Structure 1
Amino acid sequence: MNDPLTAESILDAAELTLRRFGPRKTTVVDVARALGVSHGAVYRHFPSKEALREAVARRWLARITGPLAAIAERDGTATERLHAWLSALAAAKRSKVLDDPELFAGYAILAEETRDVVSEHVAALVGQLAGIVEGGVAEGEFRAVDPDRTAAALFDATVRFHHPAHAYEWLRTPGDEALNAVLDLLLDGLRA
């Protein structure tokens, strides 16, 4: 291997080996073998198998959180941003299931094993929603509500459209019509 070993190159290799062997069978030795290095070289970047798995999970979840943050911060009304944000979250999760079901199944197992990482992810998402709600209240678009509590309720009310436990439903029906009906109801309840 001519390229210097980096955390990113290790994470790339870890994703490939997770896809190939699944999370239950993937080892640090497998990742090192894919890179053509010793497992000790991987451990210099990630002190344990758990640390490597958490980093892979964080990276995967950041691919969802990042684009949603851009929606939360863009111009437009709070109603437009809230609708776009929740629709994008549902579409991103649905895409992960439909585009690569084997990899998604592996990440579902990985998510179970890295619950703290998933909890951080959910907190970040709810925080983005709270920012949208807070902006809507400040602009007089939404009635006076507690942004944090309302954001958590919005997240929970739409869980069917974005939580991996509901993936089997996404395979049967796209859910856009049902999601739009739920969003219309939620937004009607928020409007000032």
Structure 2
Amino acid sequence: MDKTQTSEFLTKEQIIAATQETLRRFGVAKTSVTDVAKLLGVSHGTIYRHYKSKKELLEGVTAQWLEDEIIAPLTAITQDQHYIGEGIQHLKVYIEALIARKRHYAESDAELFEMYARVTQESADIIYKHVQHLVSHLSEIIRQERQFNFDHPDQVATAILQATARFHHPAHAYEWQSDNIDAEFAQVWLLIEKGLLHLNEERK
């Protein structure tokens, strides 16, 4: 991190990067705005010009983390021509990628995942926007797949996300180490797949 950065040109992106580094070093509970300011070589007052509190700072970091590490890769899957035309398989690839990324960060980037889990409990607005982004992805897949014929793709997308929440919602992270977790997902997905096919047939 550049210690010569002046407060006049300090950007939110630089603050977020420094906060992530500080969180990995000290953890969520022990990280302070002062720690972030020290890493940037500025006063803590400079940070407060951009973020009014530690809570707001963590929300900003979480929103950016979700965008970079979860939404961006899933957007690529949503629009990947390799999967378009695969119908239900396209949906499965998407959900499996969502699960894999959440599980990966829970294991390999524990401090930032802890931050995400904490903000999930405290900031309904950020999580609502994140969920709506996921729903929009799934809805887009449903709309572009000729296999489906649903009047309300958003409702179907929301149901899929809710049905699989145990496998990607941070509140269930403690369950992801179970030896049976993959088999349990396979059973849930089988039910989802059969349900979608049944509903689709009724629409024809």
* TM-score category of the 2 structures, normalised to the smaller one: 0.7 to 0.9
Q: Percent identity?
A: 43
Residue identity matched to 1:64:
I
The question of 1:88 aligning with 2:97 is answered yes
The question of 1:2 aligning with 2:7 is answered no
Instruction: Return closer, same or farther for 1:174/1:60 CA change in 2, 3 Å cut-off.
Output: farther
| Structure-1 separation of matches of 2:110 and 2:23 | 13
Native 8 Å contact 1:57 1:111 kept in 2: no
2:51 corresponds to which of 43, 46, 49? 46
Show the counterpart of 1:61: 66
For each residue in 1:153-185, what CA deviation from the matched residue of structure 2 results, as whole angstroms up to 9, or x when unmatched? 000111111111111111123733332332233
The question of 1:152 aligning with 2:158 is answered yes
TM-score (norm 1): 0.87
| Structure-1 separation of matches of 2:58 and 2:175 | 28
Q: Give unpaired runs (5+ residues) of structure 1.
A: none
- Aligned-pair CA distance for 1:145: 4.3
**Residue pairs, 1:21-170, within 5 angstroms:** 21-62=26-67, 63-75=69-81, 76-77=84-85, 78-136=87-145, 139=146, 141-170=147-176
| Structure-2 separation of matches of 1:173 and 1:100 | 21
Native 8 Å contact 1:143 1:190 kept in 2: no
- Aligned-pair CA distance for 1:102: 4.1
- Aligned-pair CA distance for 1:55: 0.9
Native 8 Å contact 1:53 1:110 kept in 2: yes
TM-score (norm 2): 0.82
Q: Give unpaired runs (5+ residues) of structure 2.
A: none
Residue identity matched to 1:119:
Y
| Structure-2 separation of matches of 1:174 and 1:70 | 29
| Structure-2 separation of matches of 1:150 and 1:59 | 27
CA RMSD of aligned residues (A): 2.0
